[in-house]
Structure 1
Amino acid sequence: MTVFIYQNAVANLRTEIEQSRLDQLTQAKVIVDGRIKELSEIASRISYDKRLTPYRVHDPIFSGEAIQSLDQYKSTSSIIDEILLYFHKDGKIYSSQGLYDLDVFAKAFNFQNWPKDKLFEDLNTVKFPSMRPEIASKTSTSMLQRMLAYLVPITPNNPTPHGTVMYLIKESELSDLIGSVLGNYQGLTYILDSAGHILVDNRQGEALSGSGAKSLIELPAGISERTINGKPHSVVSVKSDTNGWTYVTAMPSSQFFSSVLHVRSFMILLFCITVLVGAAAALLLARMQYRPISNLVEFAASSSGGERPQGAAAASGNELDRIRSALQAYSSRIDLQEPFARNHFLSMVLKYGNVQSLSPELQRTFELRFDRAHHFAAVIGSGANAGTPNEREERQELIQLLNQIEFPELHAIGYGVELPQLDQLALIVSFDSDGRQPAFDRLREIVEAVRASLLDVTEDIPSIGVGTCYGSPDQLNQSFIEACSAFEHRASVEPGSVTYFEKLSDAPNQADWIPGNALMKLSQSLKQGSFDVAAQIIESAMRNLHASRPSALLTRCICFDLLNTMLRTASELGLHGAAQDFAPAAIYGNSLDELERSFLTLASRICGQVEQNVQKEEQSLTDRISAYIDEHYADHSLSLESVAFTFSVSPSHVSRSFKEKIGLNFIQYIWQKRLEQVIVQLRTTSDPLKDIIMRVGYQDTPNFTRKFKKETGYTPGQYRKLFSENEQARHLSETDDE
């Protein structure tokens, strides 16, 4: 900031000085041009003055009057030192002082660098106004005076002039006019004619050769930079449009810096103050800002199971590097678990619905959108158990295909969901209809498009059960139950078919009877443990009975139909005590409201029992999987997928249930088992570390070493050495006690 301010101050001052010089030089040019123009006008008046005609001048009677008139013309301009009148081929020349023979005139003025022959030639041949530069004349006192000779032919602008008016001008007269341009600065000021000859040379402190001065005429008008005498100079140039003369000033650039010494002193003082105050503020802010970083480091260390390093260990690292490493580790874990978390999220949508109440942040994270007009669920299965390698590979291809499948031409997007059963997948589809066709027709087109995509991946023709299309994603759980019902119904049709729940028989055998697809949906909701869907079906059926008011016999038959569906489903689930919980005789004596409460209670018990059974099965499955891992953890090919296919469940189901029941995810559990075994072998054997790591199923030794140090704070070699030293110390202590 100090350097910028200093340079800016110097640049501004330099610009002001240069602009001031340009203005002053322009003003000097105007004054000099005006004086030279006056000389041309005087010559014009002389040419028309009757007193100064060749006849009157040569006449002895009128010659005195002519000399007097020349003296009068001389007094009209302050820069004229002498004015002379010469007529071509004449042997005399006339001045304000008197009449001279040419030889006498040449001896009287004695021009140093203007020979007499050249002088007479110029007087007789000049046809345009011209300035003779730097004529040194010797006066009567034997002192040299630098003068300029300005020759103007008369009559002016006449191609055949008959005479010449010569003005002798002291150089100091013009030099004084431009002397104020430099002011107090050292430098050069020149007036150059159109040929580059120096007319006026006003310098302070330095000089310039004639060739160097002549080169200045080539500069463009305005302000420029040029090196003169080996030093950088700021050059200001102005050219006259009247006579082609060039007015130039050249000033050493170093003078600008000397003019701002007080500014530089102030900047140095400001810089010192800024450094001191800035350093104090930086230290204060650093201490304030380090506190949250320190807390974050402690959090990262505690979250990773380690301790914050102290002393030399802390000096060898960097807090930000440790935070970055921790964040990278968390990011890797998130990337690994994100597919399973996404599948779990979609499983919750299928089970409970209520999409609108689920976390919008998770929906954005998983890139899930339920913002379209229609939604339905489908269940897809081939009947294969995915036990062989080919079947596993085919299942992975199906999962990858259905993970997010889009049909832009149908304005539809679908999200695949892995179900616990290896031979089944679910698909959630959201779409917009164009308003020109029923929503069911668009649904059928989407299902056919999905089926065509599946046939590109698998050779087996998949069976598809499709639920009802709903206008809100909150009802996707009902659509899923319907899709499961339609998929189970596929046994009655040919394999590989598409079964639409809406196309199942929904007409009762006679009025007031509960539709068959509603009873099917009730049965499936109980099997899935979805009490919300079962309750909606029961409440809907009882509302219809309230509205139609059939006979008592028909009411009992309808209620028995509903009850038989629930008890049959309970029996299929192995819940044989459900019939005892609900006495069929209660149908005869209870009102419809009491029956509805009894049916809801029975449905709640069945769904609750299903949930308990599922949890027991998952716990049993988790126990069997953990026992399997304990036995096969040394197998380097052990993976989530291989374990899932071994137990005929989906990988996502294994991941979710393992985390819920064990408290560690699948990868962490295997790592802990291998770590424990490595620690045991480091303590009890002297085998090479690489052999030990290979024996526990880990093939990447450097990666294992890095993770080992992160978990324990030591490398495996350091840990073995530390444990050996502790054992020796303990052994010596026991010996001393004895």
Structure 2
Amino acid sequence: MKLSYFKSKLFLKYIWSYLFILLIPLVLITVFIYENAVSNLRAEIENSHLIQLRQTKNIIDDRMKEMSDVASRISYDERLTSYRVHDPYSSREAIQALDQYKAPNSIISDIFLYFHNDEQIYSSEGMSSLDVFTGKYRFDNWTPKDLNQDLNSIKFPTMRPADLLNRNSFEQTILAYLVPITPNSPSPHGTVMYFIKEAQLTGLIDSILGNYQGLSYIFDNNGQILTDNRHGGESLIEADANSLFGLSPGIHSQTLNGKQHSIVSVKSENNGWTYVTLMPSAQFFSSVLHVRSFIVMLFSIVVLVGAAIAIMLARIQYQPISTLAEFAYANAKPNRLADEPVLQGNELERIRTALLDYSSRVDLQEPYARNHFLFMLLKYGNAQSQTPELLQTFDLQFDRTHHFVMVIGWGALEDEQNNKQDRLEIIELLAQMEIPDLDTYAYSVELPQPDQLALIISFNLHVELQEFVHVQHIVEAIRGNILEMVNVIPSIGVGTCYLSPDHFNQSFIEACSASELRISTDHGTVTYFEKLSYTSDQTFWIPDNELLKLSQSLKLGSYDVAAQIISTVFRNLHTPEISSLLMRCICFDILNTMLKTASELGIDNAMQEMAPHVMFNSLDELEHSFLSLASRICAQVERNQTKKEHSLMDQVIVYIDNHYMDHTLSLETISFEFDISPSHVSRSFKEKMGVNFIPYIWQKRMEEVMHQLTMTNDPLKDIIMRVGYLDTPNFIRKFKKETGYTPGQYRKLHKENELIESTPELVEE
């Protein structure tokens, strides 16, 4: 490195700048890391515990729900009714059923079924008396008397805390979960009892603490400790443990046993249980002690490496500045004497002064250079071959999809001074013009002729506009801006629109031709080159889009639209400029369109209805004939649509009557079956039947249920599901609302009426 670099104040500033850029954030980051390492680690661990504890809570909730569902299914299982389990022949089947209910749930150690005031209790292993059961299963804190009382009196699902169970000299900690059956009944007739190993619950939360010491608790909704687990830590006194139940769900910090603890609490919305894990906060600090020595070592290394990098970066940045500074003040004054002192100030100040000098020179020449560049584009084209830097220098954008040129002329006026002033204002207005509504950029080019100005235009074609229409909008917008600004009415020639800016030269020649060949010599005319190539007769032909619109209106049966199109065409034919031959051809266009459309619609007699001499009538008679033909076609279309719709709805009704007992039947399935929209099915069905789809299906199913209630002895649930109704309680409620009886009452009443009709002599007696 040159020693002269260190003599430069700018170079030394760069070195110190890089060092400060490095050291200040490094010091702040170091302090921030050290101060927040503990809190960040603690937050991560606590959030991890919170997530895992919620997952554990969800798993246990799912298992508890499964056990409640099992109890519900047991209460409705015919194999496990009281008379079946007492029956010697069917008791084996009941035991097998209990075993089947036990198998799916992983936390159930054993399952028992007890009926109130019964001397027997049933399990998947068999039937035994209560005395034998209490002798076989002995709890430390649950006496046989209390067990018997709980089995007979409990009315709500209850989980007993973990208790030591002695079974045949084998001890293990068990939780007992008692669910009355039938569930939610105010007068249960029995109890389903589950034995759950404490390890099954504690095992789910044991892994949450990981390598950290701590405790975990599960409280029931009354604050009673169901189970607790110590993970290498000391236990809590009962008062501190009970205080954990009152904590709100989330993360807490609390002093217990004289030590600060981090506590994570989650509460179940299903059963009100609270899950808590806690660990001494001191463990977080011990986890980050190694960070201090690592930070000191890293800080030293970074400072040394950063100093070397700062010198290198300062040299890299200073070298081009030094070279540019030498070039700047060596060329700032080409005629500077050899003994004249160099510019004062540092290198950047010298460069700035030189650039200001160059910029002032460029500003004087830029308008001329820009106009020359644009004129070369008009003369030779090839805009895409220009470098992006050159286009950016002159602030030009040719990235649009369509391009054309227009030539504006205003001729010689009496007041030459005002004309010159107006011309200057127009040039300034159009130098660079943007029309956001039309997505257009325009750039003016002064031509050698003093009374003309060229305008290069680039735009993105709007989807809703045709190309020529879009061009017309742009020309009118520019013309309007000129008229608003100056008191000059220009004559405008417009060239053809091209997709590439390379054809600016062609469009410019066409614009000049249009300006010279304009139809009117008056000021204010706009002439399009594209129109110059058309004959006058072509303007009377009917556009293809109008014929297409006429055809589509006939296909849709819209006579008003068709009549409007036909009337408009004949109104335009009442002009002496149209020859008889051209008039006849135009009429044939309309007739061919209408006959072709009629043929596509299957109306084959349309031509026969037209008189052979119709083409030789007057225009008024011919218009009347065309309107009459359009009316007949539209009327036939409407009749065909009505007939088709009635035929389709007849098929839909037959389909509904055959499938109303299918529970999947809906407007969507019908629309899929017949390839029509659900809304169309609903509307047409209501018009056809006078009732909506859903009430019709309900009535059909209702009638079938009433028929089967009177003609069969099948269970009500089977009948309801057979007719396609899956919600039995809701059906019974609606049945009673409509008939005044429940289905059971309706069946009983019908049988009584049949009995009376079959034995009238009993009634008379």
TM-score (normalizing by structure 2): 0.34
TM-score by length of 1: 0.35
Give the number of the structure whose alpha-carbon radius of gyration is greater.
1
Larger RCO, structure (CA 8 Å, separation 6 or more):
1
